[in-house]
Amino acid sequence: MLRRGKSQGWLSLPPEAFNPWAQLNGVRFHEVKPGQVAGRGSALLATKTIANSSEGAECLLTVPRELILSQEQVLEQAKVDRDFRELLQSLGDFGRVGSCFLQFSHSYLLFC
């Protein structure tokens, strides 16, 4: 269904639609902006050369914790949404991911 929606165009939004949503939800861009990559689709594009150093990578995007899809957030939603809870139960272990490759610091998501 997702592939069909993307190929037929009903499951895509132009990159400029992301900015109002991001502002409304407290997402901040740091030296990146939403854009298009030919043949690939929507992406966050760097507005300058991004360099890593021995101190770590630059922060490109700041996302409030409540927007992060974590196991904790999923379980909290399941407490108040019976249909969602039933969906999770029907998936069993299939819908679970064993590890996370993102690092969390305070209430922000850091891409490292």
pLDDT at residue 49 in the model:
87
The whole-model pTM stands at 0.57
Residue 107: how many CB atoms within 10 A of its CB?
Answer: 12
pLDDT at residue 62 in the model:
92
pLDDT at residue 80 in the model:
92
State the alpha helices, DSSP H only, in the chain.
Answer: 2-8, 18-24, 71-80, 82-91
Q: Which two tokens stand for residue 94?
A: 């299939």
Chain centre distance of CA 37 = 18
Phi-psi region of 94 (alpha: psi -120 to 50; beta: other; left: phi over 0): alpha
pLDDT in 10s for each residue of the chain, 112 residues: 667 777 777 767 788 888 998 999 999 999 899 988 888 778 889 998 887 777 777 888 899 988 887 888 888 888 998 988 888 888 877 666 554 433 333 333 333 3
